[in-house]
Amino acid sequence: NYQRVVTLEQTANQFFISKEYLSKVFKEKTGTSFSDYVTALRMNKAKELVMESKVPLKEIPELVGYADLAYFYRVFKKYFGMTPGKMHENLK
């Protein structure tokens, strides 16, 4: 479900628990926050797609759950220290 909008509140409602409880238990079990976990999942999948080179770079954000292209590029650069285009170039 990382490809869709995923929020702590939606996930908590799905399991009929409070978002505060889910947040606490999630952090205890994974060692990271819910939003950081989802971001890491999305970024690692985006990196796979960039490295495979089968998908145009402009389509990757939507495939990993980001509707805003500019926001995706900011998050990607912050997470990996380079843009998707630069990472793709480094593969050559």
Residue identified by tokens 């869709």 is 4
Mean pLDDT score of the chain: 91
Residue 26 included in any domain:
yes
Residue 13 included in any domain:
yes
Structural domain total, the chain: 1
Residue 73 included in any domain:
yes
pLDDT score recorded for residue 3: 74
Residue 12 included in any domain:
yes
pLDDT (average), residues 5-11: 88
Per the CB < 8 A criterion, the answer to whether 39 and 76 are in contact is no
pLDDT score recorded for residue 5: 75
The structure tokens listed for 83 are 């843009």
CATH number for 41: 1.10.10.60
pLDDT (average), residues 35-64: 92
pLDDT score recorded for residue 36: 95
Residue 85 included in any domain:
yes
Residue 38 included in any domain:
yes
What are the pLDDT digits (tens) for 55-82? Answer: 899 999 999 999 899 999 999 999 999 9
pLDDT score recorded for residue 12: 92
Distances (CA, A) of 7 to 3, 33, 36, 48, 58: 12, 12, 11, 23, 24
Residue 1 included in any domain:
no
pLDDT score recorded for residue 79: 96
Residue 81 included in any domain:
yes
**What is the C-alpha to C-alpha distance for residues 65 and 43, in angstroms, rounded to an integer?**
10
Domain extent at residue 62: 8-90
CA atoms 57, 58, 61, 62: torsion sign: negative
